[in-house]
Structure 1
Amino acid sequence: MSALPQQDELQRLEALARYEILDTLPEEAFDRIANLAARLFGTPIALVSMVDENRQWFKACLGLDLRQTDRSLSFCAHAILSEGVMVVPDATRDPRFAGNALVTGEPNIRFYAGAPLITPDGHKLGTLCVIDDVPRAGLSPEEQTNLSDLAALVVDELELRRAQRDLENEARAKTQMVAELRRATEAAQLHVAMAEMMEYDLELSELVPAIGELLGRAASIHWLGLHLPSGDGQVTTYSWYDPSVPEAFTQRMTEVGIDATRGLHLRLQPDAPLFLDHAELGGQGSLNPALTETGVRSMAWFPLALMGGARALVTFARFADPVLWRPDDQRLLRSASRTLNVSVTRREQLRKLEVLAFVDSLTGLGNRRALERDLQARVSAGKAFALSLIDLGGLQAINEAEGYERGDVLLHLFGEALQTRLGDSGTAYRLSGDEFALLTASDRSASPHVEEALGLVRGAGFELSGVRTASVHSPENGTDAQALFSAAGTQLYDTRQTGGQEEPDPPAAPGDRARVTPAKRAAPLSLGPLSLQDNRVRSGNSAVKLTRHEAELLAVLMRHPGQVVSREALTREVWGAASTPGSNPVEVHIFNLRRKLRQLTDEVGVQTVRGQGYLLQGDLGGA
């Protein structure tokens, strides 16, 4: 007859499960208690039995070659229903067990005594029982107490075992927590390290290996590649890789960069990374087979900033486990990609700024900075070349008669024609206003190019007069970039269309801020620490040679100490009213004059008064 479950059977089974004792290996502590019970009561069989939902399972089993039986055959299932020790003197005479298969057959149970295993919270998990194959008299009260005490020892062992297991679980949890904290700390340190790299203006050839070394240790990355597209369709790849990476993979990724993938662009979104494991890498059309054959296990791609209309890309690859990209790995790769993206963006911004700094916005030609850069490069290369300066006469008249937009069309047309005629034989520049420059091989004359460009301009309906050119050659005329430029500038502005004759100085215009009066420019002048004579300015025992126009400008300013002299007045005084080349000659020569005065003395200098003109200031000796 089967025992009916208790009302709290579900809670009892939950309590049994909490001890995690079922189906565990034998343990000496429980076997010792079973042996002690068998000796104490003189029985051939002693069990530590746990009553499960559909079975009884023996944690300790002495004298019986079984580890479990069906619950319907269990004496212990009846014993846990009683408050004390359950004793069956002769099972063949007990209607509950007379037909039990364990009574009618092996092990032929006749005598049974079982004390319930009662937990501290009152649940009966099973019994400690002693069994004999012959009938016996019942147990005395003292014997029942002894069996109950032994059952209590079993419960103590269960409690001790659970406490030890809880301690071990807690220790494992703490160990795991410490490991997670350590990983989190290391990851945080990596994030900080990569963020700090943004503060340093590292070259990409330095930044990529630095990040690769960090990711190699922290995320098991074996290859890192930064692919930068250029306007001509080429790709530059900066890479770092572990020595274990196959050469075929490195060569393939370095050679083809972004094109190493086949159909990948269809899956890669502009603002979202793509992670592929080994199985996905082998998918049809997902990756170039030449890469998968190298043994790569997993790859990740992060799109970066646009560069010249094409998007930069960073690639990560693994050649060993772990194959899958864990969340921590993905966060590290995102952090690394952000750092690289900042560097790439900064590089692109600098490139654009460099374009703005070295390109004339109106004509698209190089500007004066570009000329100075290229001129210095040619000088440093030690090869022969020619520098030509061109002054377009008549631009001011066109601006005044037809408007400045029309003048801009002229400048753009002339610049484009000039560079087109030069082709690969030289480079054209627009310095400012109506001034252009050419850098060509020393045996190339600028005149044919200028004449062809002028012909095109005139054919477009522009009338130009008084176009002047001046050329110097290196090394014949020197090997110093600044000296060559100054020599060409002096030659250009000293040349007159009248055959080189000086034009008379015009009278000063009424209303000038400082009235400029004609004077003999060669006459010596002295002001404060400065003395000017024969195109040389002195201060103490030091002297600096000036060009003719620099000397004339300084003379005008020295004759009007402490006064602002307008740009128009300086132009009339130095270049004459019949030749009005615009503001640029004044600015060019003032710039050179200011630089030379700084070499000579700190006591006197030329100040620009915005919107008014120029002023000689400093220690002028009470002037």
Structure 2
Amino acid sequence: MKVSRPIPAPPHAADLERYAVLGPLPESAFDRPLRLAARLLRAPVALLTLGHGEPPWFQGGVGEGWRRLPGLPELHAATLDHPEGVVVTDLARDAGFAACRRAPGELAPRFYAGVPLVAPDGRVLGTLGVLDVRPRAPRSGGEPAVLGDLAALAVDELEGRLRTWEVEREGRARAEARRRFQEDLTLSQLLRGVSDLTALGLAPEDLLRRVADLAAPVLGADWVGLTAVEGDRATTTPLWHSPRGAGYDPAAEPHGDGLIRRAAHQTGVCFGGDDAGPPGAPCAASAWLGEAGLPGHVVTLVRLGDDGPWSAWDRRFMEAVVRALHHRGARPGARRGDQEPLQQALEEAQRARGRAEVLLELSQLLEGEGDVKQIAPFALAAVGRALGDGWQVLWRREGEVFRPLAVHGSPPEAVQRRQQAGVPASHYEALGVLAGHRVFLNAESLSEVAWQNGLRGTAALPVLLRLPGQELILGAYRGGEFGAWSPFERDLLITAGRILRAGAERQLRLQDLAAAAHTDPLTGLGNRRAFTAHLEAELEDAARRGGRVGVLSIDLDGLKAVNDGEGHLRGDALLAEFARALRERFRPQDQPYRLGGDEYAVVLTGVTPHEGPPLLARVEAVVRQVRRAGFAYADASAGLACFPADGTDLRTLIEVSDARMYAAKGEKRRVGASPRRGAR
């Protein structure tokens, strides 16, 4: 059994917690890396397992009969603890895998190779492995190397699914913010209309009729009536109806006054459906406009057809209007002029509208293209306007402390000094924020020091945690008279955190795309595009300050022989090893690149043509290092061109260095100096 040193911290179930939102994954979710693993490693079975318990969170495989193979949990557990992978050439001969054995003649795994699946934040999620029912020797180049690349592909699939879910969630959040804004705007406008009608001094019946004209179409009602209730007698007068409700008469229905009788014995709005409202009306709502224990009136709204039950907004709107009309200004037979309840309802609606506008503004930030630095000031300002008091901070981790990246508001001087000094990362770790938990603390939960510094409430919400050492946290703080974080304030801060995370994720994606566009994926070196940009910048700088720049063109010899004789995986290993040796053998300020195929180049700073021999000697040292790594027939040819001695522009320097490299290659072939066993 070939294993590496175990990782220090064993994996645990929480490692998959951030993916739990995806729900059960389809068994075919990882078919692509599984089929590639089976095909590339010529294995009859490939298996991918997520989770650390039994049963696992997810398990999928390709190959006939893989579910019936014994010992799969033991193989999975052994692989989780070894980051460089596990290779067992014959499970039947390894005492550590007795669970994989079966009676003679029964199907059992004999060969196994597997690697852990590691998330971008370093958490171990599961394993990817291949099995064979026959023992076999490890492949040249090693199964873990191939499986490692495919494991990364599987993690990318999982991360892609998570990001898709997050994008869809943000879309739903934006749609919900727009919906709430529109509802609150409508509520504010309608209550403003009720306020204007009340100011006209209309008789209560006329006022109710006008209010019905305004409100019933918005609520989707088909009929509105006013019922005078005195003892057992009830007389109903229609106030408004839609075309569909023109013929509706609650008195003609058996038990049609059931909801009205209920409403006469309670305050507020009484909501009913098929069981409580007038027969034939899917929804009805009645509200008592009188005073408890006295004769009075009930206003009733009826929704016919299949429009569905009253929504939360319908109920909220009706209750706000009834609070405004319940008192003297609209109660039939009462005095006019008491506007206080209506004014309170109107102010409530205006506050709701303001909150909705803030949520809409935050949702619109999600649709922009700004990164977190650009978004943060606007997001914090919007949150500050909605919260009124206090201040907000977006914290970014720098080493073992969090420092402000953006601030809105003015904290007390003592708090400001502490914030500028930074908050220890251990503080957020103790609160659980670095584990993904949102924390809202009131005055009684704060430390004595925080209380003395004027804090009365704090909130900390994770914004970005997937890059250890670069975490972002949203903090909100309250001083003065403060009781507890309201549901709206919590919702507002959660929404702001999501928006800031979207900006941070967008920034990371752009950085990843930029890096991918300038990086060779096999070797990790810069590609031709990066080489050209770097060399152009160095030439401009050298021309401006009178400096010197060198270009070293290098051709790796022997790659074709390795590909043909040992396979392309082995050839890829040669390319990667050559790149690693280039990094190690040249100076830190020299930058190597892979231009494509077996072509490499190095941009050298401050070199002259006289330094050519030592630089070419470095290339020979690279070749020796690669040969010691197991590629005995590898070789390389190189050519140097220097600015300004050999040319002053990029094209000329590359042409000169290439020509000298090909001349060196031809000289080697002429004298037979290369030990390689095949031409390129």
TM-score, length-scaled by structure 1:
0.48
The higher radius of gyration belongs to 1
TM-score, length-scaled by structure 2:
0.45
